Amino acid sequence: MAPKRTIHAHHYGWDNSFRPAVRIAPGESLEFEVVDAAGGQLSPASTVDDVGRLDFARINPVSGPVYVDGAEPGDILKVSVLSFAPSGWGWTANIPGFGLLAEEFTEPALHVWRYDGHTLAPSAFGSWARVPLKPFAGTMGVAPAEPGCHSIVPPRRVGGNMDLRDIAAGSELHLPVEVAGALFSVGDTHAAQGDGEVCGTALESPMSVALRFDLVKQSPLASPRLITPGPVTRHLDERGYRVTTGIGPDLMAAARDAVRSTIDWLTRDYGMPAMDAYQLCSVCGDLRISEIVDVPNWTVSFYFPRVVLE
């Protein structure tokens, strides 16, 4: 059933004292008009100079909050993702000081994307690549019990900025409720992202999101969990992957080594500038922990989909 109401209100930070934008009963659906992660500070006409002028107090707005009648601490809020209506444009940026390889990529960069919001055909990244799209919401969560205003940037036990790309249409997200009414909000919509979002941004894109809300009473949950409707990488699997690895006793260092190796490959074999390769890796490449038991070294792999380049 199509949502009867659309939420336009948004806020910054998680705070259980925020006044709800709407109050609903379990089983109801809502549509949210979600602002991009820059809070509307970037547009299809933006240039790299605009990245340096970003006001970080306006980063990562979320739409809501939604008060769900009957939701109590110890319940699960079940969020069913019904659909996305993408805007047709988005951006990927390197923001100095942010990202897995921040110490190596110190200059701002910006790529503005344009895509068909109806067909979701792969979107061009310069002359090098065409990236298959998979819309999802990077941030979905409920208010924490701890009083005060808490940053949206880090994910939490109650969800938030998890950047879990499989919170896509057809998926079902379960969130642990800590306050009366749950106070749910959603934001940070992406048209595409690789697992890890290694440069710190994905294909950031404003869009509308339709969600349905249900309650599972008194079923304590330690952290969010997700149920997907089927395979999750089909849009990237068609031609296999180019895989690089990082091996060592430090998972973060191994992750950096794996990503760095793919960037080196893209620059060497495709003549792609390193900054562009880094941003492309963030949008479509997947970081995986391949082995974490063979003491003292762990294996981290970076899967880059060949379909993007071929």
The pLDDT tens digits for 51-103 are 999 999 999 999 999 999 999 999 999 999 999 999 999 999 999 999 999 99
DSSP conformational letter for 307: G
In a domain, 236, yes or no: no
Same domain as 70, residue 151: yes
Angle 74-78-79 from CA coordinates, rounded to 5°: 140
Find the CATH number of the domain harbouring 275: 3.10.28.20
Same domain as 263, residue 114: no
Mean pLDDT (whole number) for 22-30: 97
- Flag whether pLDDT at 4 surpasses 90: no
Which residue range(s) make up the domain with 191?
6-227
Same domain as 217, residue 75: yes
CA-CA distance, 93 to 277, in Å (whole number)?
A: 12
CA-CA distance, 240 to 243, in Å (whole number)?
A: 10
Same domain as 119, residue 254: no
Same domain as 294, residue 150: no
Mean pLDDT (whole number) for 273-281: 98
Per the structure, the count of domains in the chain is 2
3-state secondary structure of 26: coil
- Alpha carbon 131 to its chain's center: 16
Same domain as 254, residue 192: no
What pLDDT does 3 receive?
Answer: 80
Of 178, 198, 227, the residue at which a domain comes to its end is 227
What pLDDT does 66 receive?
Answer: 98
What pLDDT does 1 receive?
Answer: 61
Q: Describe the strand order of the beta sheet including 286-291 as a list of residue ranges.
A: 241-248, 298-305, 286-291
In a domain, 182, yes or no: yes
Provide CB contacts within 8 A for 93, sequence distance 6+: 42, 51, 108, 109, 110, 111, 200, 201, 204, 279
CA-CA distance, 90 to 105, in Å (whole number)?
A: 21
How confident is the prediction for the chain on average, in pLDDT?
Answer: 97
One-letter amino acid of 157: R
Same domain as 127, residue 269: no
Same domain as 164, residue 203: yes
Same domain as 216, residue 172: yes
Same domain as 191, residue 75: yes
Summarised one tens digit per residue, pLDDT across range 99-155 is 999 999 999 999 999 999 999 999 999 999 999 999 999 999 999 999 999 999 999
Same domain as 188, residue 40: yes
In a domain, 235, yes or no: no
